[in-house]
Amino acid sequence: MSKIEIRNLVKMYGAHQALHGIDISIAPGEFCVLVGPSGCGKSTTLRMVAGLETISGGEVVIGDRVVNGLKPKDRGIAMVFQNYALYPSKTVYENMSFSLRLAKMPKPEIARRVNDVAQILELTPLLERKPGALSGGQRQRVAMGRAIVRDPEVFLFDEPLSNLDAKLRGQMRAEIKRLHQRLNNTIIYVTHDQVEAMTLADKIVIMKDGRIEQQGTPDEVFHDP
C-alpha cells in the first residue's frame, strides 16, 4: 500500500487561482475523504493526483515517488467517476477485463482476476450480461470492478454515487466500506455529501475556496467546537 503526500499544491486556471497551496498527508491504507461545497477545489485536487490536470505548483508523492511528471497510467492509481461509462456492447466480463487485455496480461490471469473480483462484488451471475440489462447499482459495481481488477495501490473516487437514488447510495456506501476493509488500498474520495464523508472516512479534509478549512478524523472534524 502506498502513502500519498500532497505538498503545497497550487492550481491556476489562467489568471484564476483554484488551489492556494494545499497540504494533505495520507497514510498507507487510509481512506481520505475531501468534502466541501461545489467549486471549492475537490475535483481539481483529485485530478492533479490522477495526472489528469497539470500541476501549477507544489508536489504530489505516491509511495516514494514524486509523480508530478508521470502519465496517469504510470502512477499506480485507478479512478472511479460519477459518469462511469461502460461499453454498452460488451459483456460485464469484457468490460472488467478490457484494461487487462490492453496491458497484454495472459488470459488465464485475466480470468482469475475478473472471477475473483466478480465474487467479491457479487457480480458472478451477471458476467455474461450487457450493461443495458443491469440496474444502476449493478452498473456502478461493474465500474468499481473494472478499477479493482487492476489491483491499484491507490483508488481515486470522484462523486461516484451522486447519480444513484438515496437507497442505492446507502447500499453502495456500505459496499465501498466493506471493500476497503478487505483490500485496504489507499483512497481519496471526493463528495459534497457529509453523511457519505462521515460513514466512509478515516480522515476528512474540509475544503473551502481552494483552501483547507479543517482536517482530521470524522469525530474531530464534526464534533469539536
The residue ranges that bind ligand ADP (CB under 6 A) are: 13, 16, 18, 36, 38-44, 93-94, 107, 111, 115, 127
Q: Are 77 and 60 in contact (CB under 8 A)?
A: no
Torsion angle, CA of 67/69/72/75, rounded to 10 degrees?
Answer: -20
Q: How far is the CB of 64 from ligand ADP (least distance, A)?
A: 27
Which of 99, 171 has the CB closer to ligand ADP? 99
Q: Are 203 and 30 in contact (CB under 8 A)?
A: yes
Q: How far is the CB of 78 from ligand ADP (least distance, A)?
A: 19
Rounded to whole angstroms, the Cα distance separating 40 from 24 reads: 15
Burial of 134 (0-12, 13-18, 19+ CB in 10 A): middle
Which of 111, 168 has the CB closer to ligand ADP? 111
Which of 96, 200 has the CB closer to ligand ADP? 96
Q: How many CB atoms lie within 10 A of CB 174?
A: 12
Q: How far is the CB of 124 from ligand ADP (least distance, A)?
A: 8
Instruction: Please name the residue that has the C-alpha cell 483508488.
Output: 155
Q: How far is the CB of 23 from ligand ADP (least distance, A)?
A: 17
Which of 107, 178 has the CB closer to ligand ADP? 107
Which of 29, 211 has the CB closer to ligand ADP? 211
Rounded to whole angstroms, the Cα distance separating 92 from 118 reads: 9
Q: How far is the CB of 89 from ligand ADP (least distance, A)?
A: 12
